[in-house]
Structure formats: C-alpha cells, structure tokens
Amino acid sequence: GKRMKGVQIFRPFVYGTTAKPFDDKTNPKPPGVPDDHTHSWTVFVKGLDDVDITYWLRRVQFKLHESIPNHVRMIEGEKGKPFLLHETGWGEFEIAIKLYYVPESSEKPQTLYHHLRLHPYGRTDEEKETMRLNGAQVISWAYEEQIFNEPYEPFYDILTSG
C-alpha cells in the first residue's frame, strides 16, 4: 500500500478515571464486594463529546494492579460506546492503557499510563465532607490527540469518510 506523504491526521479522545466512595445513600456497596473496598470506580477511553472512535481504535487493554483478580482486561470496541471498565477497590495505582488500532492502520499498539485517583487531594476536610454529602465523584480525566502520520491510503479513506 501507499502512504499519504506529508499528511497528518489528528483524532481527539479522552481517557481517565471516575471514582466514588461507597455510602449507604448515593452509592451503596453491592453484595459480594469485599469489606475492605471503599470505592467504586471506572476507567475509560472514549471520543471527545462521546463521538465514535471505533473506526480507528479497535480494542483497549487495561492493566490494573496485580492485587485485583484477573488484572489484565481486554475491552473490544463497540460502535459509539466508550471502552469502559467498572471496578471496586481500596487503593490508588497506575493503570497501563494499551491502545490497539484497527488493522487497516498497520499501527503498532501504544501504551498510556493513568493514575487511578480515589481521593480529592488538596481539599479541606470541610470541602471533602461537602463532596461526600453530595455524592460527588473524583474525576481524573485527560485530553489526548492521536496522531496518524502518513497513513496508508485505505486507512486515510477510513479516517476521513466519517
């Protein structure tokens, strides 16, 4: 195949974690969740404003802390849906997020790292209590742009026909 010389395609996406402490009112602990788990949380990769990204991103591997059963998880793309994982736990750690592109791209997988944040650092105790009472989530999201350098022609067509 031929590459598109001098062409760069950018595709924005968002990734990160959202966490919420368990509490009886707004986030009750589901049955079966271990006693020492304090939070529910999610990690995700998705398009900006939830636009579909499965035409360039095929699957995402999330590598969680080894203390978590089955800590390497592969999420297959579903059109229009985020690549998303729900978990519960007690501690923060670094998540390795490996992006697998569609085969037409001929791109090698690429890994991002993201720190799972459970606690609202830098707040006063009063602010934390207010957050807790409001059932507030701890959000740690990042914006990123995927760059495709000199894509192959068929992949260029896929990227630009959306």
Q: Which residues bind ligand SLL (CB under 6 A)?
A: 65, 67-68, 89-93
Tell me whether residue 87 or residue 104 sits nearer to ligand SLL (CB atom).
87
Tell me whether residue 105 or residue 137 sits nearer to ligand SLL (CB atom).
137
Q: How far is the CB of 128 from ligand SLL (least distance, A)?
A: 18
What is d(CA 83, CA 48) in angstroms, rounded to the nearest whole number? Answer: 13
Q: How far is the CB of 151 from ligand SLL (least distance, A)?
A: 39
What is d(CA 74, CA 12) in angstroms, rounded to the nearest whole number? Answer: 22
Tell me whether residue 93 or residue 152 sits nearer to ligand SLL (CB atom).
93
- Distance of CA 131 to CAs 20, 76, 80, 121, 152, Å? 10, 34, 31, 12, 49
Tell me whether residue 10 or residue 121 sits nearer to ligand SLL (CB atom).
121
- Distance of CA 40 to CAs 92, 94, 98, 146, 160, Å? 12, 16, 22, 29, 38
Look at residues 20, 40, 29 and name the one whose alpha carbon lies nearest to residue 137.
20
Q: How far is the CB of 92 from ligand SLL (least distance, A)?
A: 6
Residue 146's H or E segment, with its range, is: strand 138-149
Q: How far is the CB of 25 from ligand SLL (least distance, A)?
A: 23
